[in-house]
Amino acid sequence: MPFRTICIYGAGALGGAMAVKLAAGLGTGATISVVARGAHLDAMRKNGLDLFEAGSETPINARITATDDPSALPPQDLIVTGLKGHQLGPAAKGIANLLKDGTRVVMILNGIPWWYFHRDRQSPHAELQLEELDPGGRLWRLIGPQRVIGCVAYQGAEVINPGQVKLSNDGRFILGEPSGEPSADLEAIGALFSRAGLSITVTQRIRDEIWNKLTGNAAFNPISALTRALMTDIMTNPALAETVGKVMTEVRTVGRALGARFDSTIEERLEQSRHVGAVRTSMLQDLLAGKPLEIVPLTGMIVTLGRLVSVPTPISETVFALVSQLDRENQR
């Protein structure tokens, strides 16, 4: 196995779940470590990390090397980031300390990622850097987009207590090289994750998958934060459901202008959303926990990229302004 040392950098809900799955599924075939912080880290050090899979009341426990100081770990073969977009910049130096020749970095991100235009063949904007996502080009310079494996995750996860993560569904993960080309690293990482029990799909069009997920996230996340509403509440409120549809339409218009293809209609996405259940979005979870909100990759980028391709996004602009003000008030 070419990736024997694996660090989950940001082992919160989703990162923590992946750490347990990799540790339990790969056994002695790989050394798993995590970078975390706070009470969650303290609990991991004391009792290990518990993962409750969907529908299970009995956790999988994994004893994993856990630290808040990445310099305490050796360079890694593979890094998996469980951080949100606004958390990556401050973590860039710590991640860079774990790199060596050949290290790949699987970036699990919602929304538009900082590396989006690296080797982009779907639009005429290859290598464009997005200042809002990567101030001063810090990530581009310290980590490098050439190391990235893109990842889109459909996995509901929540930290229910320090050291305990609960999954709300079975989950699936889509991996792809930014170039769209097949690679030995991509194949090996997909096989490794599959061996650990993760449902993995490899794609040559990772940007399509980014936009497909963003269709929902750009609408539901900010609207749920603004209203404190669960998914069921949003979809049973005609005015909110109509607003969701309008945001989705703007997202797709911008995405198509950048070469993205979509695998369903807006009506089909709305119908799927009616069956999700009483789920709190990740942005609503962060709001209620008093944490900074992941706004720019999910909502701000629709506005920024809309301007890049001359697509008006008036509803997204309003939602972006409102949720940005909410975030400022929530952080006071």
* Per-residue pLDDT tens digits for 187-240: 999 999 999 999 999 999 999 999 999 999 999 999 999 999 999 999 999 999
Domain segments of the chain as ranges: 5-204, 208-331
What average pLDDT score do residues 156-171 get?
92
Question: What DSSP element (H or E) covers 215?
Answer: helix 206-227
What average pLDDT score do residues 296-313 get?
98
Residues noted as catalytic: 213
pLDDT for 1 equals 55
Positive or negative torsion for Cα 305, 218, 156, 12: positive
Per-position b or e across 225-244, b if 16+ CB within 10 A of its CB: bbeebbbeebbeeeebbebb
What average pLDDT score do residues 234-254 get?
96
The band of 263, judged by pLDDT with boundaries at 50, 70 and 90, is confident
Mean pLDDT, rounded, of the chain: 95
* Per-residue pLDDT tens digits for 31-55: 999 999 999 999 999 999 999 999 9
Q: What is the pTM of this model?
A: 0.95
CATH of region 208-331: 1.10.1040.10
Query: What is the DSSP pairing of strand 65-67 with strand 31-35?
Result: parallel
294 phi and psi angles, rounded to 5 deg: -85, 80
Are 5-204 and 208-331 equal in CATH topology? Answer: no
Per-position b or e across 122-149, b if 16+ CB within 10 A of its CB: bbeeeeebbeebbeeebbbebbebebbb
pLDDT for 168 equals 87
pLDDT for 151 equals 98
CATH of region 5-204: 3.40.50.720
